Structure 1
Amino acid sequence: MFEGLIPRLRVRTVYDIDLTLLKSKGLKGIITDLDNTLVGAKDPLATPQLAAWLEEVKRQGFKLVIVSNNDLTRVSNFATPLNIQFVHAARKPSQRPFRKAMKLMELSPKETAVVGDQLLTDVLGGNRMQMFTILVDPIAIRDEGWTTRINRRIERIATASLRKKGLWHEEEQQ
């Protein structure tokens, strides 16, 4: 029942993503969530460490688009100084924002990775499109809004069910 919520890869942070591994899988673009994936939900700008990582992603030849359920002001204020394209008010896990991001990158689903901190939005949306999904640990859970808190409760139920079926193993996280 919850198999669509299983990411292809689980890591602690975006910094733990092996870009060489992604290249070896034929991936050329990364769609990334913003809040609690790149920075905490209340952090307005990228940290110097994150800005350097995003530049390294681009330097290695990956195309990059931020897809966020947040509003235009939040996403634009974050993405514009970094010169990163974005899709705001995305309504993930809807397929439309993922399609829009792939169109911006001129890539297909098999060439695209999705990085995010939520199973019900990022992973489900990416899996529905047959993209390579990567789940990161949320950065600042205490800053999350009420809808995300509801999602987190559903995620706990889903992962417990997947554990019972032998489909979710804690040691998979790298």
Structure 2
Amino acid sequence: MNISATVNVLRLFANPSLCLPHYTISTFDQIPIPLSLAFRKHGSEKGPDIRAVVLDKDNCFAIPKQNTVCPAYSAKFEELRKAYPGSRLLIVSNSAGTGSDPGYKEADLLERNTGVKVLRHTTKKPGCHAEIMDHFRNAPDTGVTDSSQVAIVGDRLFTDVLMANMMGSHGIWIKNGVVPDNGLLTRVERSLSGFLLRRGYHAPDPRSDFN
């Protein structure tokens, strides 16, 4: 059970915009690189200073419950690794690297298969944003000083996108994922998103809550 998601989703009653992404794509291979291109304002040639990227795993770049990059997305994954090398690219999963992963065996396997660091975190998304920022700020090669310099990529509005907005980062929503997902929670997320957009809501401007 994800207690963090259950508790934090209540924030949407006060501020429903927290579940809205700043940028939406259909599948992982549509991610623009550099990611700053996704967040350019109208008429601007340059986007914000995105120095680090957080990737969800399941149904983002991997088939759920598998710890390898889906072959269809391997080229895009390598492109991301080159654009955001070393500690600047981080996998944050609610399976691998959590208390649901005894001995972090899945996290170890995922790191070997992808060449990307997997965050070990005690709180599941969306509540692990402080642990994410600790990782980036403590790594000398990221240059991250502010959460607005981070982009979060994932397929869930109530975890990945909610977390991005809670921490003042940029959220990219992968709407369709690796495999079709027509579960109840997914249908609720999509229905709420459509309703809010029709009512004129939009994602909050990225800002830092950590300074």
TM-score by length of 1: 0.79
Q: Is the 8 A contact 1:91 1:97 kept in 2?
A: no
Asked if residue 16 in structure 1 is aligned to residue 30 in structure 2, the reply is: yes
1:149-168, aligned counterparts within 5 Å? 149=183, 151-167=185-201
Structure 2: distance between partners of 1:160 and 1:48: 31
Q: Quick check: which one's helix share is greater?
A: 1
Structure 1: distance between partners of 2:136 and 2:149: 9
1:97-116, aligned counterparts within 5 Å? 97-103=131-137, 104=139, 105-107=142-144, 108-116=146-154
Match in the other structure for 1:35 = 58
Show CA shifts across 1:118-164 (max 9, x none).
0111000011111111000222245x9xxxx4642541452243144
1:1-174, aligned counterparts within 5 Å? 1-22=15-36, 24-61=47-84, 63-70=88-95, 71=101, 72-88=104-120, 90-94=123-127, 95-103=129-137, 104=139, 105-107=142-144, 108-137=146-175, 138-141=177-180, 149=183, 151-167=185-201
Against the structure 1 CA distance between its residues 34 and 11, is the aligned structure 2 distance closer, same or farther, given a 3 Å change threshold? Answer: same
Letter in 2 for 1:161: F
Against the structure 1 CA distance between its residues 73 and 22, is the aligned structure 2 distance closer, same or farther, given a 3 Å change threshold? Answer: same
- Percent identity reads 23
Q: Count residues with an aligned counterpart.
A: 163
Gaps of 5+ in 2: 1-14, 38-46, 96-100, 203-211
Against the structure 1 CA distance between its residues 151 and 166, is the aligned structure 2 distance closer, same or farther, given a 3 Å change threshold? Answer: same
Q: Offset at 1:61?
A: 4.0
TM-score by length of 2: 0.66
Q: Offset at 1:66?
A: 0.2
Structure 2: distance between partners of 1:160 and 1:18: 23
